Amino acid sequence: MRLRALAAAVFVVWVAAAGGDEPGLLLTVGEVSDRAAVVWIRGGSRSPVSITYARAGGGEERQAQVPLSLAADRTGKAALSGLLPGTKYRYKATQGGASAEGEFVTAPAPDSETPVRFAWSGDLGSRGYCRRLTDGYPIFHAMARVPVDFFLFVGDTIYGDHVCDGPEFVPGSGFVAKTLPQYHAKHRYNRADAAVQDYFRQTPVFAIWDDHEVVNDFSGSVEPRMPTGRQAFIDYFPIAPPREEPGRLYRRFRWGRLLEVFILDTRQYRSANSDPDGPGKTMLGRAQRRWLVEGVSGSSAVWKVVVTSVSLSVPTGRKVRDSWSNANILGFPEEAGTGFATERDAILRDLRLGGVKNLVFLAADLHHAELIRHHPTTEWSFHEFIAGPLSASMGRPRPLDDTLNPRSLWALGGALNFGEIAVDAASLTVRIIDADGHVRHTHTVGASP
């Protein structure tokens, strides 16, 4: 035991002397559409990175030079444009003598009925569950064995507010992040894991934050560290916010005729969690709420998937509520609740009146998996699917918000997991898969005409 402790201490000192967890060239591909993609890069030095890319089956090779920003922790992004729909591309990044490469498939054309398959989960690297010296984040090996078109990383992509250290873990996450370099270090720590890198180079990633990218259960309207955590998140993912709104994270993308995905930002616009629920309390803010209702109601895709980092129906938060629900631990609505149920119910009412069918909400955050069918009125229903954690403390199922008239179709606690969804013209099939690659449950929903 004494020799093992001494070896761990020597390793920690060596890493600290080398400047912390300093990986080489890191890549992540994301924000893929039918015509474009974004490659995120973190360099091993300050010099620019050269990107070459071409169709996997052969074709003209294109090049781009990507300058790296010191203020953004030597990261940069390459926008690849002029791509062909439904086509596999290979790319390679080179910096000095270092190189790394990956591949991705572009989305099919908007009118194509090409089947689509994707995965989702969240919650990576909480206290006691960060990178192990022996095998890092092993669930990504299981994920790599399930080929998908893209991965939705649904919040808690880091645990900036957790201290995770110990002789069994890779050093580098033993602090609470408060400054931009510290938040960068938390992201770099997770991204440098070998299995994460292998997956993120080969699978397009669409990421959104939740609370632990800043601090537990934060409300962006009153949290002073929100802009810092947001900047680190933008710096470390292949997100390209519009120039007129450089901090905007909510967005949508189309995957052929069968699927449109709407990714919500449930953090930076929300009222203080402690405010009493009512018409003036918001999780999304006025502009995002209008964007969501109009976008989903007007979508011509067969399936409309809304990504919300916090659950519609599972109450969270201790002294005050952090998710949409106002329910107590038994699932019954609380008087003078502090959730966001008034806004949630107004959004659902607008979607119902807009005639929206084949609607699915995807969430993480709860550290357990669950498949739920909500039937808030006799003539209208929708689904909520929850997955995770990838590597974080274990949660368990609990009573659901009775006001949505929910039915839990299946639930799983005490296991690291991710979800996979396959969509074709007739149906949507969801599977929950654990860290060993075992399928724990499968459920199919037919498409309404």
pLDDT in tens, the chain (449 residues): 343 343 333 333 333 333 345 688 999 999 999 999 999 999 999 999 999 999 998 889 999 999 999 999 999 999 999 999 999 999 999 999 999 999 999 999 999 999 999 999 999 999 999 999 999 999 999 999 999 999 999 999 999 999 999 999 999 999 999 999 999 999 999 999 999 999 999 999 999 999 999 999 999 999 999 999 999 999 999 999 999 999 999 999 999 999 999 999 999 999 999 999 999 999 999 999 999 999 999 999 999 999 999 999 999 998 999 999 999 989 999 888 999 999 999 999 999 999 999 999 999 999 999 999 999 999 999 999 999 999 999 999 999 999 999 999 999 999 999 999 999 999 999 999 999 999 999 999 999 98
Q: What is the pLDDT of residue 23?
A: 80
| 69 vs 236: CA distance, rounded Å | 12
Q: What is the pLDDT of residue 286?
A: 98
Q: What is the pLDDT of residue 235?
A: 98
Q: What is the pLDDT of residue 19?
A: 36
Q: Name which of 363, 411, 412, 405 is nearest 382 in CA terms.
A: 405
Q: What is the pLDDT of residue 58?
A: 86
| 74 vs 96: CA distance, rounded Å | 15
Q: What is the pLDDT of residue 277?
A: 97
Tokens of 33: 């559409």
Q: What is the pLDDT of residue 15?
A: 39
Look-up of token digits 């398959």: 117
In CATH terms, is domain 110-446 a member of 3.40.50.1860? Answer: no
- In sequence order, the 6+-apart residues with CB closer than 8 A to the CB of 218 are 211, 225, 226, 267
| 62 vs 78: CA distance, rounded Å | 12
Please tell me whether the overall predicted TM-score, pTM, comes out greater than 0.85 for this model: yes
- In sequence order, the 6+-apart residues with CB closer than 8 A to the CB of 59 are none
| 329 vs 398: CA distance, rounded Å | 7
Q: Which residues pair with 169 in a beta bridge?
A: 132
Report how far Cα 388 is from the mean position of its chain's Cα atoms: 11
Q: What is the pLDDT of residue 22?
A: 67
Q: What is the pLDDT of residue 24?
A: 85
- In sequence order, the 6+-apart residues with CB closer than 8 A to the CB of 425 are 113, 115, 258, 302, 447
Tokens of 417: 């997991």
CATH class of 18-104: mainly beta
Look-up of token digits 């357990």: 368
Is-contact 111 150, C-beta < 8 A? no
| 369 vs 371: CA distance, rounded Å | 7
Report how far Cα 330 is from the mean position of its chain's Cα atoms: 29
| 229 vs 134: CA distance, rounded Å | 29
* Domain boundaries, given as residue ranges, for the chain: 18-104, 110-446
Looking from the CA of 35 toward its CB, the CA atoms found within 13 Å total: 4
Cβ count near 266 (within 10 Å) = 27
